[in-house]
Structure 1
């Protein structure tokens, strides 16, 4: 089913929304994008979009009368949404019973949005920071931002916290380092195999990433600084880096499916600093 320029949609089923999301996107052979709970034939009463379908997000969907959740990550604590290892776990059982009892369909939109042109998750973060006009290069893993006049790590950190509503970020390097080329990597792309080539080949001064192994990129930056190089790293968190992209998707779907309530539900950061 290919939708045209309609202003209202009635009696749309879950499969219609998924078809729209998948239109024009080639998924990998072993994609994790799937309908995890619910039925393709359900008539959609409302859509909630979230980074992670947490207990709170599901409760909010119920309160809003929405029976379709589109989430970037799995509700069941592993990348491939396997549940056999959780069958006797009370946290999983409680959550799953609520989902089934309320008839909530959960669709995983992970690979699809990363295959938008440009990558919908990365672009959502870039838009949230107001850096669209500074994008000088795009790769499969990162956007490279160029500031002709240079911006300090401290200033960038303050902007990240303000624009994304973060209480804290983690950084390595010198806060006063002046950055002209910055690589932005969302989610779990902050590992050394993704970040170090950007420093080597693209001469970036600063890496901004969601998360990654703490003994790869951070240790590389530490050694670089010890050797006298002006390099720095900011880790903002996996959810914190990818949530703006899902909020971006909310606006797109709300504009297209004008007859269905489409809402973004934001979670609180999972970690707090004592």
Structure 2
């Protein structure tokens, strides 16, 4: 049986209550198009689109928008050459791009957080799953430095950023993916859950990092590891690719990752 984009979307959204102003939508293409293959990605970059074309896939399911803003608006890009060239590539190849952001964060448990926890091999450490974070209890003797090296090794990334004392022995931590690393989210968790460590994707640098700096200057044992936004969420999209591949064995479903966006010089 031929599967359409609509069939895949209905599967993704089954039993999911999306917010009124969801960003999840078909951004390019049409819902009635027959699916020839699926590419799953964190970000539908130019490279990811080229990979879809190379593998004969005409549906990209991506966590973030292809067009550099959360709501996928393009009016402000109409005369921008980077946007024009990217859109031309998409349209000429007949690529459908579906945004899967709010959906996967509403899986039970959160699909992005679950993918990261599995990639890090920390499933047995999870004490509690909250909407915004997983609370972990680490084995005795785990230092922030060792945890940071473990994150780098498991995710295949060259660096993370650490605030606070890297030699701190960590007992309890919270893992927050994407842009959940901001102070209004992390600071109440630190207090309410008696955390030693925050492990997050990213957040405003003047909030959680500065809170950690003040805490350390006051003699409190606190630390922060920032992984990067994509680095914290790509594993969740890879997990989605594995699950869609099992659900639709008649289709080629591939996860396409990107190199880290930044290099340290």
TM-score class, shorter: over 0.9
| Runs of 4+ displaced beyond 4 Å | none
Q: Secondary structure at the match of 2:140?
A: strand
**Match of residue 222 from structure 1:** 213
**Match of residue 37 from structure 1:** 28
**Match of residue 190 from structure 2:** 199
Deviates more, 1:145-154 or 1:196-205: 145-154
Counterparts of 1:229 and 1:199, CA distance in 2: 12
Counterparts of 2:263 and 2:47, CA distance in 1: 17
Correspondence for 1:149 among 140, 144, 155? 140
Counterparts of 2:31 and 2:242, CA distance in 1: 23
Q: Secondary structure at the match of 2:98?
A: strand
Counterparts of 1:100 and 1:31, CA distance in 2: 24
| Aligned residues between the structures | 265
Q: CA-atom RMSD, angstroms?
A: 0.6
Counterparts of 1:255 and 1:26, CA distance in 2: 24
**Match of residue 263 from structure 1:** 254
Correspondence for 1:94 among 81, 85, 97? 85
Counterparts of 1:188 and 1:217, CA distance in 2: 12
2:52 maps to 1:61:
yes
TM-score normalized by structure 1?
0.96
Q: Secondary structure at the match of 2:249?
A: coil
Counterparts of 1:178 and 1:49, CA distance in 2: 37
Q: Secondary structure at the match of 1:178?
A: coil
Cα deviation code 1:153-172 (max 9, x no counterpart): 01101100000001000010
Counterparts of 1:205 and 1:125, CA distance in 2: 20
Q: How much does 1:57 deviate?
A: 0.2
**Match of residue 228 from structure 2:** 237
Correspondence for 2:116 among 113, 120, 125? 125
Q: How much does 1:150 deviate?
A: 4.0
Q: How much does 1:140 deviate?
A: 1.1
Correspondence for 1:46 among 37, 44, 64? 37
Correspondence for 1:23 among 1, 4, 14? 14
Q: How much does 1:148 deviate?
A: 4.6
Q: Secondary structure at the match of 1:263?
A: strand
Correspondence for 2:94 among 75, 78, 103? 103
Q: How much does 1:149 deviate?
A: 1.6
**Match of residue 175 from structure 1:** 166
Counterparts of 1:142 and 1:87, CA distance in 2: 38
Unmatched segments (≥5 aa) in structure 1: 1-9
**Match of residue 7 from structure 1:** none
